Chains A and B, each alone.
Chain A
């Protein structure tokens, strides 16, 4: 007891001394505050401010004007087209992405590295170039131009062209989300299912798909956000036919150039809301994905 009594008062005093001068566990107060300050200022100027501007501009003449701008036939047509194109390209990329990720993650074949590089190509090419590729392929002077013209098939300056360009630009999202996940999970569960008598389809729907569902949703979400927001590639192939081939991002630009600020920012506000919803869902999915990661036993 005597010893304890001697020691106990010493410790708290020392701790207080240290924290008064300088806590060795963290940076000095000044540095901490200035780093946080820089980050917050930067975020405010580059992210929050534009978002606020979009909404204040959109509502600058009241909610009536805002709703009227969205109810314009041109706006409605752009919204419909954007939804249609997103549905097509997300649907196609869901299938392509799954197939590509499956091939890369579960099989070994010559040219695998090449395939992975190809999947990333749309990320590294400027979207305008991606659009131009389709002009070169399907335009009047293009590779298939004469053949298509002879049969009266319209790809360029029509929905198919926009859908194709969007699909191309958003191709990597689903595959990129799935490849690491599927590689980490390996093929053992599939092999177990096969040896228990499951068919290929049963194995896919009962074992593979449940294991990758959160990753798949994550990829679809990002793919959708990009598909709806794509400007460059779509701008090249769309032809900007009002009420027909204008997607929402294209219409935003056109209206802005015509000084119809309320209408322009009203459409932009929809895209901004899409971004916010995507952000929230992305956060939720990311936490789900982390939960789903079962530690391997050893």
Chain B
């Protein structure tokens, strides 16, 4: 099943949650919607599921207008952030729910329902919990039951809202790997929402980065990390060193001093220089285009992290750099910094 979202607008009062969003999801993809809270990612997911309605735009499943159908008619499996398991039903009945509410003409008989539910519980490896109630399960178990329940209706699309948000770090990592392999197994077109970049980069085939109701970039995990399209994406994904610079006459200046760097098409005026921390090469004074003074050094596992003060137009800018532990670095030392790779974005973008 392919999903196509065209020009979707959604407003809550005066707040614009989605601002003309376009998105195409291919068959069998596992797509991540990544963004900070308030970026509109959950709203977009709920609109695709039919739990919210857009103020304008189109949603198409395999070319067919999905907005003409209610949530129940879209055959979408939805996994809620807090699982939303039916608290008065045991695990078996929770998973069976979607099968039991089918119209009589197409409803499976009791034996077939039993068989199907047991298959699903085996798939999520929790068959031994079928008599328990949701309140007796751990967070990770609830999550997997919620997934089994969503899969029971043989959804054409699987939507997951912050699937790992409410879990502790260890369970989260396990479930992440498990979801990835489950998707390889059942291959249903899936979208999940997350604010955790590591989760998005590790699990998804493609990542959609969102901010303030707009899509900033769509690409594979490698693309969004290596070639961020906007300043927001560069700052949001991975750790970056950000320096306020000025572009004047096709040259890049830091605190009034020209730097030997390409402006990369950024227009004249205040801009920002982004460098991944591991792309910043640290050498003795004079070895790089930027000079700085070490303020503070601390050991940090295999590396040491140093605060370096750079002369700026107004006061100084403090940045954090990493160097290997064997390199001697003391407060007061002057160092030269040379970005191996960098991006410059106009401050207005």
Q: A-side interface residues toward B, CB under 8 Å? A: 188-189, 191-199, 202, 206-207, 210-211, 294-298
- A192 contacts which of B86, B102, B166 (Cβ < 8 Å)? B86
Chain A positions within 8 Å of B71 at CB level: 191, 194-195
Q: Is B98 an interface residue (CB 8 A)?
A: yes
Q: How far is B74's CA from A296's CA once the two chains are assembled, in angstroms?
A: 29
Q: How far is B309's CA from A82's CA once the two chains are assembled, in angstroms?
A: 85
Q: How far is B86's CA from A195's CA once the two chains are assembled, in angstroms?
A: 13
20 example contacts (A-B, Cβ-Cβ < 8 A) are as follows A188-B80, A189-B86, A189-B87, A191-B71, A192-B78, A192-B80, A192-B86, A192-B149, A194-B71, A195-B78, A196-B97, A196-B101, A198-B98, A207-B86, A211-B87, A296-B82, A297-B139, A297-B142, A298-B139, A298-B166
Q: Is B92 an interface residue (CB 8 A)?
A: no
B98–A197 touching, CB < 8 Å: yes
Q: How far is the CB of B207 from chain A (nearest CB, A)?
A: 25
- B101 contacts which of A199, A294, A298 (Cβ < 8 Å)? A199
- Residues 36-70 of B, flagged 1 when their CB comes within 8 A of A and 0 if not, give 00000000000001110000000000000000001
B135–A294 touching, CB < 8 Å: yes
Q: How far is the CB of A281 from chain B (nearest CB, A)?
A: 21
Q: How far is B102's CA from A199's CA once the two chains are assembled, in angstroms?
A: 9
Chain B positions within 8 Å of A196 at CB level: 72, 97-98, 101, 149-150, 152-153
Q: B-side interface residues toward A, CB under 8 Å? A: 49-51, 70-78, 80, 82-88, 97-98, 101-102, 134-135, 139, 142, 149-150, 152-153, 166
Chain B positions within 8 Å of A206 at CB level: 86, 97, 101
Chain B positions within 8 Å of A298 at CB level: 139, 166
- A193 contacts which of B73, B101, B152, B166 (Cβ < 8 Å)? B101
Q: How far is B78's CA from A194's CA once the two chains are assembled, in angstroms?
A: 10
Chain B positions within 8 Å of A188 at CB level: 80, 82, 84
A194–B72 touching, CB < 8 Å: yes
Minimal Cβ-Cβ distance residue in A for B166: A298
Chain B positions within 8 Å of A211 at CB level: 87-88
Q: How far is the CB of B238 from chain A (nearest CB, A)?
A: 28
Chain A positions within 8 Å of B135 at CB level: 294-295
A198–B139 touching, CB < 8 Å: no
Q: Report whether over half of chain A's contact residues are helix, strand or loop; otherwise say mixed.
A: helix
The 6 closest A-B pairs by CB, nearest first: A196-B98, A188-B84, A198-B101, A192-B84, A294-B135, A197-B72
Chain A positions within 8 Å of B153 at CB level: 196-197
B76–A195 touching, CB < 8 Å: yes
Q: How far is B88's CA from A65's CA once the two chains are assembled, in angstroms?
A: 50
Chain B positions within 8 Å of A207 at CB level: 86
Minimal Cβ-Cβ distance residue in B for A294: B135
Chain A positions within 8 Å of B150 at CB level: 195-196
Chain A positions within 8 Å of B76 at CB level: 195
Chain B positions within 8 Å of A194 at CB level: 51, 70-72
B72–A198 touching, CB < 8 Å: yes
Q: How far is the CB of B104 from chain A (nearest CB, A)?
A: 12
Minimal Cβ-Cβ distance residue in B for A196: B98
Q: How far is the CB of A190 from chain B (nearest CB, A)?
A: 9
A198–B97 touching, CB < 8 Å: yes
B101–A195 touching, CB < 8 Å: no
- A197 contacts which of B86, B88, B101 (Cβ < 8 Å)? B101
A294–B87 touching, CB < 8 Å: yes
Interface hub of A195, A198, A206, A296 (most chain B Cβ within 10 A): A195
Q: How far is the CB of A178 from chain B (nearest CB, A)?
A: 16
B83–A297 touching, CB < 8 Å: yes
Q: How far is the CB of B65 from chain A (nearest CB, A)?
A: 18
Chain A positions within 8 Å of B73 at CB level: 197
Chain B positions within 8 Å of A193 at CB level: 86, 97, 101
Q: How far is B70's CA from A294's CA once the two chains are assembled, in angstroms?
A: 30
Q: How far is B139's CA from A296's CA once the two chains are assembled, in angstroms?
A: 10
Q: How far is B150's CA from A196's CA once the two chains are assembled, in angstroms?
A: 7
- A210 contacts which of B49, B78, B88 (Cβ < 8 Å)? B88
Q: How far is B146's CA from A297's CA once the two chains are assembled, in angstroms?
A: 14
Chain B positions within 8 Å of A192 at CB level: 78, 80, 84-86, 149
A195–B88 touching, CB < 8 Å: no
Minimal Cβ-Cβ distance residue in A for B87: A294
**Knowing that A192-B78, A192-B86, A197-B102 are A-B contacts, what are 10 other residue pairs whose CB atoms are under 8 Å apart, sorted by A's residue number?**
A188-B80, A192-B80, A197-B72, A197-B75, A197-B153, A198-B101, A202-B101, A294-B135, A295-B135, A298-B166
Chain A positions within 8 Å of B75 at CB level: 197
Interface hub of A199, A207, A210 (most chain B Cβ within 10 A): A207
Q: How far is B133's CA from A210's CA once the two chains are assembled, in angstroms?
A: 14
Chain A positions within 8 Å of B85 at CB level: 189, 192
Chain B positions within 8 Å of A189 at CB level: 84-87
Q: How far is the CB of B287 from chain A (nearest CB, A)?
A: 50
Chain A positions within 8 Å of B49 at CB level: 195
Minimal Cβ-Cβ distance residue in A for B83: A297
